[in-house]
Chains A and B, each alone.
Chain A
Amino acid sequence: MAFIRSEGPPRGADSAPAGGSAAAERRAWGDQIPSEGPPRGADCAPAGGSAAAERRAWGDHIRSDRRLAAFALVLPALLVVGVFFVAPLVLSAVGAFRDADGAFTLAHFAKSLDLYTRDLIFTIGIVVLSTVLIAIVAIAIAGYLTLGEHPRAVAVLRWLYRWPLFIPFVVAGQIMRTFLAKNGMLNHVLIGTGLIEPISAQSMLDWRGIVIAFVWKQAPFVTLLLAGAMAALERQHIEAARNLGAPRWRVLIDIVLPQVRGTLLVGLVLSFVAMLSVLSVPLMINPNSPTMITVDVAYRINTFADYAVANALCLLSLLLAAFGAAFYLRHAVRKVENA
């Protein structure tokens, strides 16, 4: 029941050899694409006779039935998306522009920007920096998994890197809270191995803690996508380059990466948006100023029951996420065009 094949069918029909089989094929597609099908199907049907008319009526009947069935099939999904996703989003957007009497106002945005501009900038900084670091870590790990020449090391790395994938953000936050504290485990190890003096130990429970938690949690996700894409590449190019004496890092940067750029971008955009929406990590590591916008949203609701400013803040972070979405869509469109 491939009803929603927007790209494939016409092209397939165009490139099919002319003649009977093409018409038949077109008719077959026509049945599946109700909007395009009828005229074409009708044109190709043999002319004359009540049998044909009957067949046509029967066909219409089936087609309208199928259209209904198709609609009924997507209806539950549409309802869920509409009621639980689109409606709250619209309500929240409307709430951001409404004052206590229901009139239009920009006061909530003015207040958001007045109190939380620093936090907005902080959020952007944290998320962008984390995304860059995630990219570096993911490329390094996926690159080694693809080009590594030591089977045992590759196997161990492949086994190890996925672990954080299964750990929720809130747990990652809690782990970091004890790991990165001034007298936490990290500093104990560093002092114990003589790498730093006890006096220079410092707490990393600030922006650094958030970035470390984000990279730790999200890099495996991007690596997973990236390593999959790299594994699917034709190895001839890689082997040719290696035969000609290119070092592995050149192969990674000049040959492998350009071919998996799309996958990397998609993984990074998804991580970017996910990190924008995390409340638990900043709340546990650095809830004070400056902090991430999610903490401020929770704070407006919890302390002041002020949904209006919280809505305005949400819209502002939606704006940030929209940048990610724009990237994603542009890439998705290009991919379809290239296909």
Chain B
Amino acid sequence: MKVRSLASIAALGLASIGGAAAQTTLNVVSAGDQNMVDYVNNYLGPKFEQMNPGVKVRAVGTGPGDSGSQKIYEKLEAQQKAGAAKWDVDVAVVHQRGAATMVENNLLMKYRDQVKAGKLVSRDTAKNALGANVDGYVLPMFHSQIAFAYNPDLVKTPPKSFKELEEWVKKNPKQFGYNGVKGGMSGVGFVMGWVEASDPGMRNTFEKGPYDPKMKATIDKSLEGLKTFNQYVVMTPGNAGTLDMLNRGEIAMGPVWVDMFYTWMADGKMNPKVKLELPAPGLPGQPMYYVIPAKAEHADLAKKFIDFAESPEVQADGIVKQFNWYPGIDPQYVESKMPKAEWNKLFTDITPTDLASKGRPFPLSQYFTDIVEGYERVVLK
């Protein structure tokens, strides 16, 4: 028995050495939280390797938030400046701001029309990333959305809008918590939502442009209201910090990422009573993009990989069912590929109609910068 298992281990070892010689490694570099890397390493990679013998998918994470995309940008830019003929990133998964900067600096390959799944995308985000034209360079991997999570035991009728929330926190001080602008994107998204809510006319300009530096005054004025608001709320340590505090009953309500919320729920880490709600006029959400660097070493394999990742089957089983993200391609292709109950789970608290009307894109990058810097200047000082 022992001898046999030793022999089989040796055989395995030999096989892997033999295999390694003929193997191509597809380097996937992903910004975002650890679940993104897990998705490629544990789910997408093994499936793709099975379909393509001799291919090894290696995923590396660069960290959450825009900083993760920033690191990928810096790496590609360095290879571009060094004049490297082949870059060692085949597929990158980046945020909107990162994609916009990379397209602007000619770091990406226009590939959407060369993959079949390119025709399955329908949302505006496939062409427009925070005001930058990224048409053809990106395919959304998934969409995610920020929403309020609340504990219905403590909050019977949650505020339906930012206006109502402002009143609500005064009646229930220290029951609403968010993570500011330095502790993750759910807090940043809340601040964006706040500023956009203060003036309905502003919203269109924020999302579509053109950029006007004079808007800073209007932004600052809206942030002054947030300074008062902050006296009645709790600051939480990070995206996960908000969920933690909700779980421990330290706050009754706060903005969270919907996918993170559902994943925690599925893992049993979340109080199952907690519910979601999308307030009027809306909170931002964002896609993550699959992109291919302009001089990727295995560009053809990369296209094949993305085509596979964007197929309705993978989007249904991997993106929606296992990782609780909203699909990156048009939902109509995905819905038919999975049981009704599974699909509906994603829309229990937030209906597709809510999502269509109140799920907003983040503002243009310049406005984004003005708002977060304004927050530091007006709210924090």
Contacts and interface: CB of A to CB of B under 8 A. Distances in A.
Nearest to B249: A183
A302 B248 contact: no
Contacts of B377: 114-115
A114 B237 CA distance: 24
Contact of B237 (A182, A285, A303): A285
B235 A182 contact: no
Nearest to B379: A289
Nearest to B98: A305
B66 interface: yes
Contacts of B248: 181-184
A305 B235 CA distance: 25
Interface residues on B, range: 20 to 34
Interface stretch (B175-183, B214-222, B355-363): B175-183
A288 interface: yes
Contact of A303 (B234, B238, B245, B372): B372
A302 B70 contact: yes
B171 interface: no
Given A183-B248, A302-B66, A289 B380 contact: yes
Nearest to A205: B237
A177 B67 CA distance: 23
Q: Which of A118, A184, A203 has the most CB of B within 10 A?
A: A203
A205 B372 CA distance: 23
Contacts of B249: 183
Contacts of B70: 301-302, 305
Interface residues on A, range: 20 to 34
B376 A115 contact: yes
A285 B238 CA distance: 9
A288 B369 contact: no
B166 interface: no
A84 interface: no
Interface of B: 65-67, 70, 179-183, 234-235, 237-238, 241, 244-245, 248-250, 369, 372-373, 376-377, 379-381
Given A177-B241, A285-B237, A296-B182, 20 more contacts: A181-B245, A182-B248, A205-B237, A284-B238, A287-B179, A287-B180, A287-B237, A288-B179, A288-B235, A288-B237, A289-B182, A289-B376, A289-B379, A299-B182, A301-B67, A301-B70, A302-B65, A302-B70, A303-B66, A303-B181
- Please list the 9 inter-chain residue pairs (A to B) with the smallest Cβ-Cβ separation, ordered nearest first: A302-B67, A289-B380, A288-B235, A287-B183, A288-B180, A183-B248, A182-B250, A287-B182, A299-B182
15 contacts: A177-B237, A177-B244, A181-B245, A183-B250, A285-B237, A287-B183, A288-B180, A288-B182, A288-B183, A288-B237, A295-B182, A296-B182, A299-B181, A303-B66, A303-B372
